[in-house]
Structure 1
């Protein structure tokens, strides 16, 4: 049975996994200077197992940290300015900004103001977050976000509570006021028990009700860098460090799409990666998982049309949205479902890896 912890690891509150402690780093605006990224890789090698995950909130998660190593790691991260020295403030930095932001645009303006005013937020559940998606068209629709700033088809900014199809128009210059006010309402109205906005059934306050819809998803805006795909969102710190040292890259941006954006070097030899495949770390690295995930996902991916999701348990940490094909680990075997999320009622149940491969003609 999967354990729903209801919180995400932070730098100050690491989580125990099968391969050691997970220590999460939240780069401001999802962007790191080249030197900071090199230092982060070096810390992952020295204090962890050399592996860094990019999460679906565009955070970086150092894996395999020991209890003793964590003390040295947190001191170094604070010294680098990658972690706030105040644990309470660090826990409130739960803002995902659309990775296409440019200095001075609306996404940058709103996200940086929210960061300055973190002290005005109430105590929110550990997974509660903000998605600032103020580009020409929404690009974070599948990324986690309980309160969303988006743009309408007419170009106006709106505030939408996750789980609601519509939102309310925002007054220019007062977007953060509205975000903080709705976060306070969430807590006062009992939302902390539900933990997420989409699960909170209380009617929104009158001022936050609206009929405005976000603009439909369109082509992604021009990205400020070269996309560097990552198999299952995993950075191998030694090899990435070596690549970065050889390159002319100036900065690295994180994204919620299992990829990085490398700024300043347009001649990179970009690696191949299964970008339409999601798989959590699986067993044995995750104590919640009852099956291995990524080796099977790699073998299966060429035989699956559409999105593939292989989840070690019913929590579906690697992908919250439905996938064309989803395999969910249960008691050491795989349940197979279609156009569903992890944990869905299976079309075929309790398959071993050979049966899964045979079903798709991959054996």
Structure 2
């Protein structure tokens, strides 16, 4: 397979950067984050996605007020890069009329394709209502997050959460504290009717520890006491969580009730012109149909509202060339943060390094992931990776999934070849 690779500058030398900022503050409209290419604003779309016209407006705003670069984050949020203080104020003013298309407040991740009226949908609605209580919301850490995972087609297992509800059986949901599904601590199980009460009690217990406390800070005995008092159906236990029946990847995806065209910008980043082109193609193909674009975990963009024939037309359209549309694309084997120069903490250009790995065929042949992080924050860290390459002022440190050192290297290519026997390639 031939993969189109965007031309990028050389990854450059490794130079000292500012100390990484704590991953805590959320770059909202009123509190943008300073990065290497200006300010960054993050917008969380409505759970059902955004109408194509609103996505087009986002692209226009990114070009008019930023540097034209947008990202889909690992949680499925839209990020606009390259803003200034003045242009952020202008963007905030212009977007005010469509703010009802976005979610604000506590981060709550869930499967947007779950059936209306299901236990999962009811849990999400109840927790969203509960989380808006100012007495609780104002006492939780800035990036406090909850995941409600129905075990469906959107893989939320790798998404970090302070409190996680995970479907375990027809009438039981597992409660997991901190980290991702695998590394978090399994507290026990509740029936769906008690799910919101359990989450509320645990959030309150975490808030009592302090304003920066997270799920990992709550002791299991204290968590069990809080949950037992709030949820009569709570029972401790550590039964295995069921495997997911299917997971959405890129391409033509058929669900029980709808079909999707699923695309992904390489490494989560795209130019506004590429996004505009795909919206133009959707309008050309769909005509007067009401089309929505739903961004989800895994940096995926799912186009909703097209029939199967139109999906095939879109995925093979010239406008789709700037996106990943096939599940054998080698770029899917790379998890990379924004890197230098987009991030002022990064010690190397992660995207240029990723492209070099693709061009030279230096990726694992077993489907595992290579993680590239410009600095020690590891903002794009996946649940698992064959090797983690972390930028330092004087090169790259390589680690395995357990944090054991695999050596220090000058180039990402050398690190991959030296640490992964399954990585082939050309010299």
Answer yes or no: same fold by TM over 0.5. yes
CA positional deviation for 1:69: 0.7
List runs of 5+ in structure 1 lacking aligned partners: none
Compute the RMSD of aligned alpha carbons.
Answer: 2.6
Q: Choose from 29, 36, 41 the match for 2:59.
A: 41
CA positional deviation for 1:127: 1.7
- Would you say 1:177 and 2:197 are equivalent positions? yes
Q: Could you tell me which residue of structure 2 aligns to residue 144 of structure 1?
A: 160
Q: Choose from 97, 118, 132 the match for 2:131.
A: 118
CA positional deviation for 1:41: 1.4
2:172–2:192 Cα contact (<8 Å) kept: no
- Would you say 1:279 and 2:320 are equivalent positions? no
Q: Choose from 80, 92, 95 the match for 1:77.
A: 95
> How many angstroms apart in 2 are the aligned matches of 1:319 and 1:354?
19
Q: Could you tell me which residue of structure 2 aligns to residue 351 of structure 1?
A: 410
Q: How does 1:273-312 map to 2 (within 5 A)?
A: 274-301=331-358, 302-305=361-364, 306-312=368-374
> How many angstroms apart in 2 are the aligned matches of 1:354 and 1:27?
37
Q: For the pair shown, which has the larger CA radius of gyration, 1 or 2?
A: 2
CA positional deviation for 1:114: 2.8
Q: Structure 1, residues 118-166: CA drift from partner, whole Å, max 9, x if none?
A: 3223321122101111245883111122111211145523433232124
Q: Choose from 372, 376, 382 the match for 1:314.
A: 376
Q: Could you tell me which residue of structure 2 aligns to residue 134 of structure 1?
A: 150
CA positional deviation for 1:318: 0.7
Q: Structure 1, residues 84-121: CA drift from partner, whole Å, max 9, x if none?
A: 7xxxx93x231111243233333333223333343223
2:43–2:77 Cα contact (<8 Å) kept: yes
Q: Could you tell me which residue of structure 2 aligns to residue 160 of structure 1?
A: 176
Q: Could you tell me which residue of structure 2 aligns to residue 93 of structure 1?
A: 106
TM-score, normalised to structure 2's length? Answer: 0.75
Q: Could you tell me which residue of structure 2 aligns to residue 9 of structure 1?
A: 27
- Would you say 1:255 and 2:296 are equivalent positions? yes
CA positional deviation for 1:259: 1.3
Q: Could you tell me which residue of structure 1 aligns to residue 77 of structure 2?
A: 59
> How many angstroms apart in 1 are the aligned matches of 2:84 and 2:100?
20
CA positional deviation for 1:351: 1.9
Q: Could you tell me which residue of structure 1 aligns to residue 6 of structure 2?
A: none
Q: Could you tell me which residue of structure 1 aligns to residue 237 of structure 2?
A: 211
Q: Structure 1, residues 314-335: CA drift from partner, whole Å, max 9, x if none?
A: 1110115331022110014111
Q: Choose from 208, 215, 220 the match for 2:247.
A: 220
- Would you say 1:240 and 2:275 are equivalent positions? yes
CA positional deviation for 1:233: 1.1
1:254–1:260 Cα contact (<8 Å) kept: yes
Structure 1 residue matching 2:203: 3-state secondary structure: helix
CA positional deviation for 1:238: 1.5
Q: Choose from 329, 343, 348 the match for 2:391.
A: 329
64-73 or 95-104: which moved more? 95-104
305-314 or 158-167: which moved more? 158-167
Q: Could you tell me which residue of structure 2 aligns to residue 231 of structure 1?
A: 266
CA positional deviation for 1:43: 1.1
CA positional deviation for 1:175: 2.8
TM-score, normalised to structure 1's length? Answer: 0.87
Q: Structure 1, residues 207-250: CA drift from partner, whole Å, max 9, x if none?
A: 52621543233322755522112211113221111211221270
Structure 2 residue matching 1:21: 3-state secondary structure: strand
